[in-house]
Amino acid sequence: MTREFNFKEGDGFSFERFISADDVKKFAEVVGDSNPIHLDESFAENSFFKKRIVHGAFLGGLISKALGMDFPGEGTVYISQNSSFKRPVFVDSNVKVEVKVTQVNAEKRRLVLDTTILNADGKVCLAGSAEVWLPD
C-alpha cells in the first residue's frame, strides 16, 4: 500500500511543550550529558545565562518528534538537520515547535522543512532546516 504524498510548500505543523527540570534531568541521564549548565542551579547562576538551560539536543529531539510523529508523521525518515541556536531555552519554560515545508520533491518523496523553536515570548531560540523522506 503506497502512502499518499500530497504535500506542498507552506504546509506545516506546530505544537507547544513545557520543558520541566525533571525532563532535563531525565534527558541528561539517558544521554550522559551532565553539564552543570543544565543541571546545577548554583553553577548556572554564575554563568553567562544566569539560569539553567535546556540541552540543545533535547530541542532537536522535539523537532524529531514533530517530524516522525505529527507532520509528515509516522514512518518519516530523517535525512538531515541543520540548526543554529539563537538564544537559550531555560529549564521550566514553554516552547513552541514549528515545522514548515519549503521544498517538495514528489518523485523522490522528499521534503525540506524549516524547523523553528520559539520561547514563550515568541522569540526564535533555534532556527534550521531538515530533509525527510517518506517511504511508500
Predicted confidence at residue 70, as pLDDT, reads 97
Tell me: pLDDT of 1 over 60: no
The answer to whether the pTM exceeds 0.85 is yes
Is the distance from CB of 132 to CB of 77 less than 8 angstroms?
Answer: yes
In the numeric block, which cell numbers belong to residue 51? 539560569
Q: How far apart are CA 117 and CA 95, in angstroms?
A: 7
pLDDT single digits (tens) 41-95: 999 999 999 999 999 999 999 999 999 999 999 999 999 999 999 999 999 999 9
User: What is the pLDDT, as a whole number, of residue 136?
Assistant: 86
Q: Which domains does the chain have, with CATH numbers?
A: 12-19+55-133 (3.10.129.10)
Average pLDDT, the chain: 97
